[in-house]
């Protein structure tokens, strides 16, 4: 019973150790050369015997061996689980003992070794540190962390040993409250995070927490922006991640994981992305007809009516793209009901636009948030951006009068007209001139057959009846 009890303690302790010690998986590729260069100091008659030597590599933490293997002529790549450390000592060595021969010779011992320190960023070899390779680059690329024969400066006659493809083990993804479904509405910050095995505060290098997401059921993985990645606790909303406009195209499942390219460091973690409010299906916007006129009309169409207790507590427009500091415009009072539109089969709301409302020339988008019984829900900026363009003013400049010359004492005026829609109508004393004057070869519009002794009122409008002034 004592032996069984002792064995139970050993197994339990081993399990606890394995659960609380973060590890990497690494690949080690190794093979030795066959030219016997390690035997250069051995008498010629014994070199054949010395070729049958022992060649090996060791990966250590200080003096503690983490992994070791003998090196054969045939290339081998094995995977090892090694503890999380900031650096590792990699050595390769050959040992051979030689005796015998004809005539008999004394017993010889020959050996050769090389040692390299693999760092977080780079490695040290022969007292020279280079930032090539290293643990973090290997995590990111799956490539070399260090080794021998990885470049001209690391050639050794012992053979080739390459440590590569560092990847963290045991990281999982969880929520702050895992009992609550992983559902997020538009504008809500995600609260899932990467759980690192081991004591509190234990962490792999930041580059190990490289977030990826998939919008197509884990077929394609997309890197999250650097500003949202390289940390265990991501800080973003799905709207931040996918963009103000595109995020509304991806309601439904979205998968997350840690990893690079096709190298996954965790299992996928699925969330459900929901709007949390009504969705904009369309909008109609009418620019003012004339310079300094008010905004005419803005109607937004939603996919459904408001539910019981649901209101649009925020409804306005903002510039697109939305700047960091912005003042909302066309701010609406709380909306408690939408109007059914029989033509579109959607529910609409017509903006209340006060007289004297003008906007800057730029694109805008509708932004809104709903509340259910006073509790805020999803915040959305939705619908195709619309362009506000203030009409240019209609202006005309009358050139000096042409004096009559033997033509029934009649005169003409010529004028430069600009702005508006570019298509103009001309009036004299409120009578439309027909046919409509057109710009002539001198670049001016001409009105002819005017009485030089009369006081005429000339008016010019564009195709929308916009006018600048009377003369």
Q: How confident is the model at residue 35 (pLDDT cuts 50, 70, 90)?
A: low
pLDDT at 37 over 70: no
Span 373-394, average pLDDT: 88
- Please tell me the predicted confidence (pLDDT) of residue 3: 45
Q: Looking at the DSSP assignment, which residues form a beta bridge with residue 91?
A: 58, 115
- Please tell me the predicted confidence (pLDDT) of residue 404: 55
pLDDT at 409 over 90: no
pLDDT at 432 over 80: yes
Q: How confident is the model at residue 101 (pLDDT cuts 50, 70, 90)?
A: low
Q: Looking at the DSSP assignment, which residues form a beta bridge with residue 116?
A: 90, 125
- Please tell me the predicted confidence (pLDDT) of residue 205: 98
- Please tell me the predicted confidence (pLDDT) of residue 123: 95
- Please tell me the predicted confidence (pLDDT) of residue 68: 96
- Please tell me the predicted confidence (pLDDT) of residue 12: 37
Q: Which of 80-94, 194-208, 235-249 has the lowest mean pLDDT?
A: 235-249
Question: Using CA atoms in the order 230, 233, 236, 237, what is the torsion angle rounded to 10 degrees?
Answer: 130
Q: How confident is the model at residue 10 (pLDDT cuts 50, 70, 90)?
A: very low
- Please tell me the predicted confidence (pLDDT) of residue 9: 37
- Please tell me the predicted confidence (pLDDT) of residue 358: 85
Which range is most confident: 51-60, 95-104, 191-200? 191-200
Over residues 331-373, the pLDDT tens digits come to 999 999 999 999 999 999 999 999 888 899 999 999 999 999 9
Say which residue, 138 or 227, is predicted with more confidence.
138
Span 220-241, average pLDDT: 94
Span 96-104, average pLDDT: 57
Q: How confident is the model at residue 456 (pLDDT cuts 50, 70, 90)?
A: confident
- Please tell me the predicted confidence (pLDDT) of residue 402: 60
Q: Please compute Rg for the chain using Cα positions.
A: 40
Span 50-70, average pLDDT: 85
Q: Contact at 8 Å (CB) between 116 and 124?
A: yes
pLDDT at 469 over 60: no
Exposed e or buried b per residue across 426-440, where buried means at least 16 C-beta atoms within 10 angstroms of its C-beta: bbbeeeeeeeebeee
Q: What is the mean pLDDT of the chain?
A: 86
Provide the token pair at 469. 């002034």
Over residues 284-307, the pLDDT tens digits come to 999 999 998 988 899 999 999 999
Q: Contact at 8 Å (CB) between 114 and 92?
A: yes
Span 233-254, average pLDDT: 91
């Amino acid at each position: 019973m004592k032996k069984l009890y002792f064995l139970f303690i050993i197994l339990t302790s081993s399990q606890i150790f394995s659960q609380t010690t973060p590890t990497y998986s690494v690949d080690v590729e190794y093979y030795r050369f066959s030219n016997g260069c390690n035997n250069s100091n051995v008498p010629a008659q014994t070199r054949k015997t010395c070729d049958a030597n022992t060649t090996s590599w060791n990966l250590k933490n200080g003096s503690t061996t983490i992994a070791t293997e003998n090196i054969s002529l045939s290339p081998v790549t094995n995977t090892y689980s090694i503890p999380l450390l900031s650096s590792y000592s990699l050595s390769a060595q050959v040992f051979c003992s030689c005796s015998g021969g004809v005539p008999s010779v004394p017993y010889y011992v020959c050996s050769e070794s090389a040692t390299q320190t693999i760092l977080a960023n780079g490695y040290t070899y022969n007292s020279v540190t280079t930032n090539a390779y290293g643990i973090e680059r290997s995590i990111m690329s799956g490539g070399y962390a260090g080794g021998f024969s990885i470049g001209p400066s690391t050639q050794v006659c012992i053979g080739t040993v390459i440590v590569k493809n560092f990847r963290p083990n045991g990281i999982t993804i969880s929520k702050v409250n895992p009992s609550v479904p992983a559902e997020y509405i538009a504008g809500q910050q995600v609260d899932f995070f990467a759980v690192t095995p081991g004591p509190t505060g234990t962490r792999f290098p930041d580059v190990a927490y490289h977030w990826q997401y998939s919008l197509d059921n884990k077929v394609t993985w997309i890197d999250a922006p650097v500003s949202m990645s390289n940390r265990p606790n991501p800080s973003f909303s799905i709207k931040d991640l996918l963009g103000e406009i595109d995020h509304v195209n991806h309601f439904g499942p979205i998968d997350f994981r840690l990893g690079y390219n096709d190298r996954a460091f965790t299992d996928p973690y699925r969330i459900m992305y929901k709007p949390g409010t009504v969705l904009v299906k369309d909008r109609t916007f009418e620019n003012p007809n004339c310079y300094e006129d008010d905004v005419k009309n803005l109607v937004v169409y939603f996919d459904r009516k408001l539910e019981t207790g649901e209101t649009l507590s925020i409804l306005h427009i903002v510039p697109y793209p939305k700047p960091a500091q912005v003042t909302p415009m066309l701010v609406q009072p709380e909306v408690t009901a939408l109007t059914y539109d029989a033509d579109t089969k959607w529910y609409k709301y017509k903006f209340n636009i006060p007289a004297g409302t003008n906007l800057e020339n730029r694109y805008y988008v509708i932004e809104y948030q709903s509340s259910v019984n006073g509790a805020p829900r999803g915040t959305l900026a939705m619908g195709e951006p619309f362009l506000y363009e203030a009409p240019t003013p209609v202006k005309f400049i009358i050139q000096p009068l042409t004096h009559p010359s033997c033509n029934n004492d009649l005169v003409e005026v010529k004028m430069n007209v600009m702005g508006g829609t570019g298509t103009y109508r001309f009036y004299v004393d409120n009578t439309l001139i027909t046919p409509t004057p057109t710009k002539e070869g001198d670049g001016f519009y001409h009105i002819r057959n005017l009485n030089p002794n009369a006081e005429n009122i000339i008016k010019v409008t564009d195709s929308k009846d916009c006018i600048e002034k009377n003369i």
